[in-house]
Structures are given as C-alpha cells and as structure tokens.
Amino acid sequence: MDVTSMYGQIWQSSELMDDIDAICSHGGRFAGSESELRSREWVRNRLRVATGQVVQSHAFRFRGWERGMSRVTLLSSTDHVELASTSLVLSPATPPGGIETDVVDLGHGNVEDFAAVGTRLHGRAALVRHSFPFSTHHVHRRMKYRWARDAGASAFLIANCRPAGGVVTGSSGRGEDIDIPAAGITYEAGERIARSAGGETLPRIRLEIDSGQREWLAENLYVELPGQTDEWVILCAHLDGHDLAESAMDNGSGVAAVLEVARRLGPYVADMRRGLRIMFFTVEEWGLWGSEVYLNSLSEEQRRAIRLVINLDTVVGHPQLFALTSERQDVERFVREAVGAGGVPVAPIRPVLGNSDHYNFFRAGIPSLRLIAGYDDPSALSSLILTPGDTRDKIDPGQLRMATITALSLTASACQSGELPEHFEPSPDLSRTDGWGTPPAPVEPSAVSGDVTGT
C-alpha cells in the first residue's frame, strides 16, 4: 500500500467537494429534524458505496427537544422593541405570555464576573457574551448557563461577540425541571440591552419561548473494516448540527473528510495490523450524547480493543491544524510522528477539553484526539460556527483537502503502527466537570452496537 499515492487522489478528488455540497444541501441537520434524517440516509448510502460494506446502526429511542417561537422584547416606559433571538437547545418553554424580568449584564460571563454580581442575579436574567470557542481560555456557554442557573437567575441570554454576525445558538440545560429559559441573541441586541441600563435601573425584558419534547429514533452509523488482529482504530465525526445555517464547518467538513479517508484507505485495511471502524455520531451538539450512549453499550473487552480514536470536527476555517491531545504525551508523540510523512504540521493543544466526541473516549481511558482547524485565532472563519454564517462558501477546498490528507496519515499510521498509546486510568474528576449534561438513558433501545440495519 502506497499511502503517498492517495494524497494526490485526495487532492484531485471531485467526490470530496461533491460530498460537502450534498451534506450542506440537507440543511443544518439539527438532531431529530427532517434535515438530520435526510442527511443520515444520505450518509448511510454514501458510506456503503465508499466501503462496499453493510452499514451498521447503533440506534436508540431518545427523548428529544423541538424549537418553537422565541421572542425577546426590550421593555421601557415609552417603547417596546423586539430583538432578534433564537431559543437555546433544551431550553424550557416560558409560561403563556412569557416572563418579564430585569437583566444583569455580566460582560463575558467569566467566573470573576459572576462572583462580582453576587446575589444581585437572583430572580433576574443573566446576559453574557459568546466568545471564540477554540481557545484554551474559552469558558463554554454551558458553564456560564450553569453558573447563572445555580445563582438563581430567572433566564439566560447569550449575545454574539461578532457585530453583524446574527444570533448565536448552542445547547443550554439538560431538559430537567431545574433548567431556566435560555436564548441566543445578536451582538447588536446585547449592546442595546446593556445601553438601556440607567443608574440603578436595570434593563427589563419580556422573554417568550415555545419548545417541547418528544421521542425519536437516533442512530449512530458505522462500518467495520477488520484488520489482522482484533484491535480497532476509530475514525469518527458527528453528523448533527444546528438549524441556523448549513453546519458546513461544524461539522460537514469532518463528515466529508471521514468519507474520503474511508474511500481511499478502505480497500487496504484487511492487510493492516488493526481494523478500522468508521463512525458517525449524532446528538453531539446537545452534550456529546450519541458517543456516550454508544460507549455505554460496550463491554470492557470491547473498550479495550479500541486502541485509538481520531475525531474530525471543524477541520476547516483556518490553514493551521491542531490536535487536542488531552495532556497525553504519548498521543502527542503519535501525532507528530504520523504526520511526518504527509499532511500539514499539526500543533498540539494539551489541556483536557470536553468540546467534542473524543472527550467521552478520553473519559473512558481510551487514547483519543480531535483534529481541528484554527485554535487561538479569533479571526479564523471557524469563529462563525453556531451562527448563520456557518455555510459552505466558508470552506476553502485546499484546507479541506489538506485536512483530509492529514487525517489519512493519522489513520493509516494508527492501523499499521506496532505501538500505540496505551489505555490509562481516567481521573475520577472527569465526570463532566466542563458543564455538559448527563445523557438520559435510552428508551427501549431498538438496536444495540453490532446489529445490522443495512442498506
């Protein structure tokens, strides 16, 4: 097998860019929506064609969430102004007519900002700012939400950090009774609310959110390509996204790259040391739930057989690629050596970051990494994820091709290498301290890992 010959195939591949167009044409792929269902069936068929294998399904009944109307109205003695908004995922509905509440502006919403307001937040709405998510200094939206909820806030607002960037979305609570209504708003709306404060008078809003829950069938899709041993490498990406735009960078880019690697590498895996499991997870945007439900279905023996997880998530938007290695020097060393023969140099990001599906495997003691573009550079186009700006025109074909070549180098090396990072004992403090919620147990699972629902 000549891996280097595949680099040229990827660089010239029309299928890679065709796949991006097809994925984005299905819309934002919000979990449980018709958009996600259509894209799931497309991926199922595309994966079958790419590998020549039956596509397997890890399917489960899931209590999901549906978005309805969202309205934020700035109130004053002389005027009522409706501001652009969208409800955050898993936000509870407000009572009929909404709630009227004062707003406390916490700026960025760092821990110091919450400490400074103290008990003033109780019974009032918290206003914080979104920030560039790919930074070691980033405070995740869910952390800010949790701090607001635990401080007794009546509601939660998060404003986009980019002028003219539209509303910002993302997940909020856990679908539990303790959750508070939450909405994303524009940069301009956040500034207007902040400027309306006068002296000791706080801004006041009316927040109206319509949302509901229902059960639907969620599916993680995968193909197994056995190698010469019973060990496995997982190459994965999440398929679901948000409905503000096309979820092109996050994570159409990862889906297209995984399909291309499967297409090029698949015919050779049978002669490699380790097998390759190609996986597409769902409900990642709601708190990494799809991959966690999958992991919970595995026996200890099955977990031990997974030697490395390579997660592709937002691999375009900046020319520099990074690997989130979760303080594992052996994983960092593997990445450095694997990309030496092809792809682009990959810089390590060492802190443990629970911002994609690799984190669930890390929490289980399984070596894992996330390949991502554009860390610590707020000018990166990937700053547009979770907004209406995440569309296919932001994808640079050269960046996508180089990211795919890099992913191929990592995957081929992992499948062939004599040595890989070892499993480890995870810290007991990793039980979702980053603010993610715990996924609800599947309701009457209709299939378990290994069951076949082929196409």
Which of the residue ranges 192-206, 219-233, 435-449 would you say has the lowest mean pLDDT? 435-449
Tokens of 201: 């008078």
**Mean pLDDT rounded to a whole number for the chain:** 91
Q: 178 burial class (0-12, 13-18, 19+ CB within 10 angstroms)?
A: exposed
Per CATH, which fold does 65-214 belong to? Glucose Oxidase; domain 1 (3.50.30)
Residue 447's pLDDT is 34
Spatial distance between the Cα atoms of 249 and 269, rounded to a whole number of angstroms: 28
Spatial distance between the Cα atoms of 54 and 209, rounded to a whole number of angstroms: 42
The predicted model gives 231-235 an average pLDDT of 98
Tokens of 149: 């909820």
**pTM of the predicted model, to two decimals?**
0.92
| Three-state DSSP class for residue 126 | strand
Residue 62's pLDDT is 82
pLDDT tens digits along 422-431: 999 987 766 5
Which strand (E) or helix (H) includes residue 306? Answer: strand 306-312
CB 220 within 8 A of CB 282: yes
Residue 324's pLDDT is 97
Given the candidates 3.40.50.10320, 3.30.2230.10, 3.40.630.10, 3.40.140.10, the CATH classification of the domain at 3-63+215-430 is 3.40.630.10
Q: Which amino acid does the sequence have at 313?
A: D
pLDDT tens digits along 252-281: 999 999 999 999 999 999 999 999 999 999
Residue 215's pLDDT is 86
Residue 420's pLDDT is 96
Considering all CA atoms of the chain, what is the largest pairwise distance in Å, rounded to the nearest integer? 75
Spatial distance between the Cα atoms of 369 and 310, rounded to a whole number of angstroms: 5
pLDDT tens digits along 437-449: 445 444 343 333 3
- Delimit the domains of the chain by residue range: 3-63+215-430, 65-214
